[in-house]
Amino acid sequence: METKRSELKNIIMNTRTLPTLPGIIRKLTQLSENDKSSVQEMARLVSSDQVLSARILRLVNSPSYGFYRVSTISNAMILLGVNVVKSLAMSSSILGIMEKNNIGLWEHSLAVGVASNLISKKLGLPESEEIATAGLLHDIGKVIITLNCPEEEARVRKIADERHIYTIDAEREILGVDHAEVGGWLGKSWFLPEKLVEPISFHHDVELSRDHRIKTAVVHVAEVLSKASGFGDSGDPFVPSLQSAAWDMLKLTDQHLAELVCELEDKLVEMKNFSLETYESA
């Protein structure tokens, strides 16, 4: 089992079989490190890649962000911030794979993105766009597991189903590692910022988060709410326990929770219509 774990880690850290970072991201990183380069310059660079900009615009226009009709990359950068667009660009290859091969997981991810955004707005947290991005990316580890260990993944599904256990426990049993940790490895190997890596790594175990516990707690609560709403499919049908570490960290109240449930259900109705529209027009 330990071998499967280190095998996966090796694959993620050194392999070429992973979706690689396109050269454009490297250039974007250089540009964003240089204070003098403008949003316009970066936007021009992203716009030069048709596929990438199409994906980003579609994401930005999805109800997960709540902006309406963002039609240019430079508007997206102004609205979301350069770093969010950069993270989206980095992750868009993996999100693309998810959207193609596992629509259930894609819908679950969108729902968690939406819920993360709602929670951080309700609590008036800073960087709500980053938190929404973390929510959108929280289960990327699952895509990596599917891509690299299809047989083990089938066994994970099988025992989770047969024994009525959470997917994450089945992963730990079969692989010796879970999708949260794998997602964290991937985030690190792509140099995603820590404020995204921690929520990805610890969304099932808020207490382990150190520097970005608030963001992690938001994504955890978003996960619980999305599972409760039954939107999408992340592997098992069970609502996970709402960890008191997250509840306390965010100083949530019953009132918050009731309002959030209402707002999320509203958004999910919109989202169902949205995905119908995009698939019909695609």
Partner 1 sequence: MQKIPLKKAAPGMILARDVYRNDSPAGMPACGSGIVLTDVLISRFEQINVQALYVEGYPLKEPGAATYEEVAAILDRRFEKVLSDPLGAKLNQIYKEYFKRAMGEESGDEAK
Instruction: Tell me which residues touch partner 1 (CB under 8 A).
Output: 68-69, 166, 224-225, 227-230, 237-242, 244, 247, 254, 257-258, 261-262, 265-266, 269-270, 273
CB nearer to Fe ion: pick between 86 and 227: 227
Contact, 46 vs 89, CB < 8 A? yes
CB nearer to Fe ion: pick between 190 and 231: 231
CB of 117 to partner 1, least distance (A): 14
CB of 224 to partner 1, least distance (A): 7
Residues 6+ apart with CB under 8 A from 26: none
Amino acid at 59: L
Distance in angstroms between the alpha carbons of the first and the last residue of the chain:
42
Burial class of residue 164 in the structure, from the number of CB atoms within 10 Å of its CB (0-12 exposed, 13-18 middle, 19+ buried):
exposed
Is 234 an interacting residue with respect to Fe ion (CB under 5 A)? Answer: yes
Q: Which of partner 1, Fe ion, none binds 208 (CB below 5-8 Å, type-dependent)?
A: none
Q: Which residue of 129, 139, 153, 198 would you call a contact of Fe ion, by CB under 5 A?
A: 139
Residues 6+ apart with CB under 8 A from 14: none
The CB density around residue 51, as the number of other CB atoms within 10 Å, is 11
Q: Which of Fe ion, partner 1, none binds 273 (CB below 5-8 Å, type-dependent)?
A: partner 1
Is 130 an interacting residue with respect to Fe ion (CB under 5 A)? Answer: no
Task: Summarize as ranges the residues that interact with Fe ion (CB under 5 A).
Answer: 139, 223, 234
